Chains A and B, each alone.
Chain A
Amino acid sequence: MKVVVALKRVIDYNVKIRVKSDGTGVETANVKMSMNPFDEIALEEAVRLKEAGIVSEVIAVTLGTQACQDVLRTALAVGADRVVLIETDVELQPLAVATCLKAFVQKEQPRLVLLGKQAIDDDANQTGQMLAALLGWAQATNAFKLEIAGDHATVTREIDGGLETLEASLPVIVTADLRLNTPRYATLPNIMKAKKKTIESLSPADLGVDPSPRLKTLLVSDPPVRKPGIVVNSVTELVEKLRNEARVI
C-alpha cells in the first residue's frame, strides 16, 4: 500500500517574522525556511508505517517554486521513497493546493494521505479537509493516534476537552496533530545520500488544474500592541491592583 504525504515549505518556526513595511506580506528574503512542523509529524508517521511493514512506499509531494526542493531532500533523508515537486510560481491558496493534490492522488492511487493539520504560515487548517471532500474520502483531522489494520484505519483525534476515536475504511485522509509522534532528525549520511536522489517534477497544468488564487490579500499588518504593563513588588500589591484598578476579582 502506498501513502502520500503532502509537505509545505514555510518560514522556520524559530524565526521571529517581520511584516513588510509596504503591507504586502511578511519578509521572506534571507529568512530560514523549513518543512512545516505538522508536516514533519505526518511524514514521520508515514515512515513509521513503512518500518512496521504496513506501507510499501512513501511518496512525499510539495507545491511551489524550485526552492521547495530543499524540503523534499529532507523528506528523502528521513525516509521518503519518492519525492515530487508540483512546480508553480503562482501564490498558492489551500483550495488550489487541495485541487492539485486531488489530481496527484488520483494518479498515484495511495490508500492513505497524511498531511499536517495546518501550516504555521497562513494557519488556514483547510487543505486536508478539502482534499478529503474533493476525493470523497473519509477524513480524520487532528490525529493523536493512528492504527491501520487490514483495510481499516482507527484514528484518535484531539478535540475540545479530550479525545475522540473514529474508524474508517481506507482510503482515508489523516491530518497530524502535535502529539502523534516525535519526528526523527535526518542523519548526515542520509542527507548526503538524499542529495543524489531524483526529484520528480510536475506542473499544475500537467494535472489539469488552474491554481489561480480566489482570495485577495489586501493588507498584511502588525497586530495591535498591548499597552505596557507594570511590575508589582508583592502579592499584596498584585491583589490590590486586580481588585481596585483592573476590577477583575
Chain B
Amino acid sequence: MAGAGQGDTTVPGGGPPLDLRRKPRLAETIIQGFLFLCGAISILTTLGIVLVLGRESLLFFANEEVDLLKFFGGTEWQPAIGRFGIWPLVTATFMASLIAMAVALPMGLCIAIYLSEYAGHRARSILKPILEVLAGIPTVVYGYFALTFMTPLLRVIFGRDLVEIYNTASAGIVIGILVIPLVSSMSEDALSAVPNSLRQASYGLGATRLETAVRIVVPAALSGVAAAFIVAISRAIGETMIVAIAAGAGPNFTFSPFRAAETMTGHIVRISGGDLSYDSIDYNSIFAIGLLLFLITLSLNILSQWIVRRFREEYE
C-alpha cells in the first residue's frame, strides 16, 4: 500500500495528479539536528578529556626529572624527591579491584540467578528495589562504612597486629558491595534474555532447576554475564571515594591487602585536594596517572564489547 501516510496519493484515473516531489519538513530537520548534537556532545566531551589528559601528561613526561622507563619500572612514588615509579599506585589499585571482584562476582551472579530463575513475583518485588537502594547510596557513605565497620571487623577476625587501620582489603570488600547491584542487574538482564524454550527443553530432559540454571541458562547468557563482570571491574578500578577514605594515604608498594596503600584514584584526590600549584610536576603527574587509568578502563571496555560480540549466541 503506497503512500498511506502522505494523504495526497490519488486514485488512478481521477482527482489531482500524483505529486511525489520532496517536501520540506522543518520539524524533522530541527529534531534530527538536535539529536545529532546530543550525540556529538558526548563524543566531544570524551575527546576533550583525552586532549587535556594527553597535554598535561606530555608536559609531565617532558620533564627532565621523569623518564618513561622509571615511570613504568619504578616501585617508589615520591614526587617530593623526584621518584616517579607508578607501581605502588597500580598494585594498590589492582589489589582493591581484585578483592572487590572476589566479592561482587559470586554474589552478583548468585543474586542474578536467584532473581531470574528462582524468585517469585513477591521476592523479586522486594529484592530488586533493595538492590537499587544499594546502588544509590553515595560512595562517601560506603567509604566511612569501610573505615568504621569493615576495618574493625577485619581487625577482629584477622588480628590487630596484622590489619592496619587503613588497608586495601577493607576498601576492596566495600567496593565489591558497591558494585554488586551493577553485576546482578546486568547479569539478570542477560539471564532473563535466554529464551524460555531452552529452559523447557532442559526440564523436558529431566533436569532440575539448578541444573537448568547453572548448565543451560548461565552458559547461554555467558556473553552478557562476562560483559557485566568487565563493566564492574572498570567501575571498581575507577572508584575513588572509598579508597581515599579507607585504603590509606601514601603510596606503598605492598602485596599485603591488610596494609595501607594508595590507589591511583586515591592519590589523585589527595594530591589535588591540597595546595597544589599549577604547572608544578606534582600537578602534571596526576594527569599522567589519570591518563593511565583512562587507558586501563578504556581497554577493559573494548575487551567487554569484543567478548559480547565474540560469544553472543543467536537463538533463532
A is bound by B: no
